[in-house]
Amino acid sequence: MSFIGTWDASPSWGLVGRREAATSMWRLARDAAVRVEAGRGMELRCEVGTLLVTRAGDLEDHVLEAGDRIRLSRRDRAVVWALREATASAVPLAP
């Protein structure tokens, strides 16, 4: 899984050890965007703030508030845009 994007401020992300899987987390300033490639699949979670998620091939955009989540299937590509300062996490799906 890869995270490629730009931030208004330097990113604050890293791997956080979890029992079931490693979780990637990052902080996005307002109006910052990041491109996400789901690899084998993941659950994208909005921890804080508000995110807009646009998936390739999906006609709908998805707004995630704190506590909301969306599942990205194998090989999904998405752009995650912070409508306001936000923290997001991505948990890989079990194989």
Q: What is the pLDDT of residues 13-59, one digit of tens each?
A: 333 333 445 578 889 999 999 998 888 889 999 999 999 999 999 99
Q: What percent of the chain has a predicted confidence (pLDDT) above 90?
A: 55
Q: What pairing do the DSSP bridges indicate for beta strands 2-6 and 69-72?
A: unpaired
pTM of the entire predicted model = 0.74
Helix, strand or coil, per DSSP, at residue 62: strand
CA torsion, ordered 59, 34, 75, 21, to nearest 10 deg:
-120
Tokens standing for residue 76? 């999904």
Asked whether 82 and 28 are in contact (CB, 8 A), the reply is: yes
Q: Which of 38, 16, 40 is nearest to 26 (CA)?
A: 16
